Amino acid sequence: MFGKLVEKVSTLTSRSHLLTDSSKKLKGWAAFKNRQKLFWNKVGTRYKEVSQSFEIWRASIKTIEGQFGPAVSSYFAFLKWLFFLNLYIFLISFCFIIIPQIIYNDKVDYSTSDTSTTAVCSRRYKDSVVVMKNDTAQLVLDFLQGTGWMEKTLLFHGYYSDKNLLAGQSYNLPLAFIMVVIAYLIMSLILMARQASSALKTAALGEEHQFYPYCNLILSAWDYSLTDDDAIVLKRKSILHELNSSFQERERKLKRENTSKCALYTIRFLANFLVIGLLAGSGYLIYYSMTKATELKEQSNYEEKNKFIKLLFEFLPSLSITFLNVLLPLIFQKLVIVENYTQDTEILLTLARTVFLRLASVAVLLATLYGQVTCSPKDANDCNVGVKDDCPVLRCWESYVGQQLYKLVLTDFIAAFFITFFVEVPRKLIVTKCNCKLSQLVGQQEFEISKNVLDLVYGQTLCWLGAYFSPLIPTIAFVKTFLLFYIKKFTCLFNYAPSTRLVKASKSQTFFTVVLMSAFLMCCIPIGYIIWQIPPSKGCGPFRLYSSAFKIVSLTIDGFPKVFDAIFTFIGSAGVVALIFVCLCLGIYYHATMNELNRKRVIVLREQMAREAQDKAYLMIKINEHSNTNVVSRNYGDQI
Amino acid sequence: MGNQGSVFDDRQLEEYQELTYFTKKEILHVYKKFRQLNPSFVDANRDGRLDMDVIMSLPELKANPFNERICKVFSSTSSGDMSFEDFLDMMSVFSEAAPKHVKVEYAFRIYDFDDDDVLSRGDLKNVVNHLTGNEVLEADDLEQLISNILEEADLDNDGALSFAEFEHVISKAPDFVNSFRIRV
């Protein structure tokens, strides 16, 4: 509406008269439609006003965008988005699990006279958790490790009750627990899908944009949001650099063809070999540290060891994962330079390797835990825990997994904090204050969006995975993202210099979504499998009565009226599923065909356009000739 | 700024809200920015026009290579000086909520230095020179660059980009919406 009116009326006030005039003239259906439109517009702005009052960090993001441009600020927008995602997850679990558990806390214990297996196992589990109240150092260590007194808090799965709380009008906590897990997964998926649809749209544009490299470079190059003088100088430089490099790209390609292909391929082969070796090695390191840590704990003289050494053992797996996550990407970056790819491929390749490392390290961790949890033989007489010499004794494996993830979350956050204040700040000081060779060697730090995004995605993966085993992890994640925003803002404004290369915001946004989606899928599979298949511990947690966590859902459905049961069976039946499948296939086929047709139409239209232009040029020439002859003849006539 | 609410009455704010992509809160914020450019003048006469030099002292504009063009395009007298309504109009077009087609239209006008409704070779050269600033490209390179742009985008081969052609190219540029934006 705005842009179209602009041509005719230039000031706002005159435009407003136009608006009211045009709405007065309308009658009947058109007037009704107009009123409807205005009404919905009003609702829209109202919604915007309300959501704006919840908005945070607007000024911070603006400052960052002013200095670093939209690509870096999109990282912060992503961080903000994750903050809200974690807030929602936190709210769901807080309202439906934690509050009921707190309110009815005292009514949930089994009485000592109860001799059912569950009651006996619950007592045995409770006794196995040692709480030393007098030892302050031990209390702190327990806090860091999630053991001892921490294990008997709301933090871990094992603490939650298996009973219908509030006898009589019951609140079914186990059912609520599983529903919350399903709810937060679905909610995350919906929110991500919303984000992804816009990101994928721009990605689709990005594919076509390679046909217009120069237009893009010139016509949408300037970031209108830049306010910082240094940033502007850099921006100018980067545009110029991009222009020059696009001129030189062809020459470089020729040069690359001239260097011996054989040597290049050998180098690349070796590099890939090395990368695979490194990945396999880090996988093994994680596995080794996990098993070693449990093994050491089982040793008879473990209790006598120094507390600090014990802490080190406890944190061995999380430390090694974090260490690998910091170190290996650096190696990958150096390695890819030797491989001599084009700039785009270089970035993409390093990314792919780093993503793989991140996700693989979590996968290895899960696989190792899976091995420990499902380890046989089990002692059927003693609550199905592992037999001591062959397997780790896990009286409550859900809490055990929760502890591992809790430690990872903690280490991840401490590492981010530590790296910012004890590595990046000194480095910045060296570079700016000292005028020696060292400072030139180290150089200014640039904000690497992809690496930082991977850190965030890794944290989010831990949150999704952890929420089942430790319902308070979303709370930690929510606080963590909040603090992380300020840490990152500080490090961005204080430690980093704006990038000297042109970074495309649209590219990085697509990348965020794709990585987050794959991480999400990677979380869904194990959580689904655990809920469906793995028998819960007999002595702890909300599902101790059932053979699998999902059993509670099927039991509840059995309790529904027959109609629901029939509906569920009908929806689940093979015929319906096949029908839906066929419909989806038809839909895909239809859209693929339309896509192909449209592509052809575009080609035809383009040809038509060129032809019209030729026609136009031809006609112009004809007109010119004609008018010339007319003028000549008229002049001739005048003379006569 | 305690008296912010009293600067505009409710009806006027509603009207501005309908005519721009802003909410009331943002409109007041834009007014605050406008006032900061020259407080005493704006307080004395809210509908007065600020000179182009004053407008260009806004941080985002000060840094912008196309700042003069922007002022001229959005100024209702085309001279570069702006009333508050012109300023609001400008901020609204640059806001996040403004749709792409509106932004494209204004971008076209900004880049159309000679106001002849097409981007000719001269306009494009101007754009490139404004972008690169002091370090000018060599003449050959510049010619080559302009030819490349026209080759890509000039669908009807008339040696200049019409608005339709410009819109077509920009619609394929995923970063345009992100970069043609000034946060309030």
Q: Where are the domains of chain A?
A: 58-563, 572-632
Q: What is the predicted pLDDT for the residue at A86?
A: 92
Q: What is the predicted pLDDT for the residue at A216?
A: 74
Angle at A144 between CA A140 and CA A149, to 5 degrees: 65
> Please, are residues B95 and B110 in contact by the beta-carbon 8 Å criterion?
no
B50: helix, strand or coil = strand
Query: Would you kindly state where each structural domain of chain B is located, as residue ranges?
Result: 11-93, 100-179
**Structure confidence by residue, pLDDT tens digits, B131-142:** 887 777 777 778
A–B interface: beta-carbon pairs under 8 A: 179
Q: What is the predicted pLDDT for the residue at A88?
A: 92
> Please, are residues A445 and A64 in contact by the beta-carbon 8 Å criterion?
no
Domain covering B100-179, topology: Recoverin; domain 1 (1.10.238)
Tokens encoding A311:
């802490």
Q: Specify the CATH class of B11-93 in words.
A: mainly alpha
> Please, are residues A426 and A51 in contact by the beta-carbon 8 Å criterion?
no
Q: Is the pLDDT of residue B118 over 60?
A: yes
CA distance A11 to chain B (A): 6
Q: What residues in chain A have per-residue pLDDT under 50?
A: 1-10
B60 touches chain A (CB under 8 A): yes
Tell me if B102 and A3 make a contact (CB, 8 A cut-off).
yes
CB atoms within 10 A of CB A143: 13
Q: Which residues contact A568 (CB under 8 A, 6 or more apart)?
A: A557
Which residues does chain B have within 8 Å of residue A207's beta carbon, measured at their own beta carbons? Answer: none
B-interface mutation test, from A75, A210, A214, most B Cβ less than 10 A away: A214
Average pLDDT over residues B46-55: 84
Residue type for position A112: T
d(CA A518, CA A234): 35
**Structure confidence by residue, pLDDT tens digits, A359-406:** 888 888 888 888 888 877 777 677 777 666 667 777 888 888 898 889
Could you say which of A16, A214, A606 has the minimum Cβ distance to residue B148? A214
Which residues does chain B have within 8 Å of residue A224's beta carbon, measured at their own beta carbons? Answer: 60, 64, 94, 179-182
The reply to whether B11-93 and B100-179 are identical in fold is yes
> What is the value of ipTM here, to two decimals?
0.81
Average pLDDT over residues B13-17: 84
d(CA A196, CA A512): 9
Q: What is the predicted pLDDT for the residue at A19?
A: 59
Tell me if B181 and A70 make a contact (CB, 8 A cut-off).
yes
Q: What is the predicted pLDDT for the residue at A83?
A: 92
B156 touches chain A (CB under 8 A): yes
B101 touches chain A (CB under 8 A): yes
Q: What is the predicted pLDDT for the residue at B4?
A: 47
d(CA B7, CA B22): 17
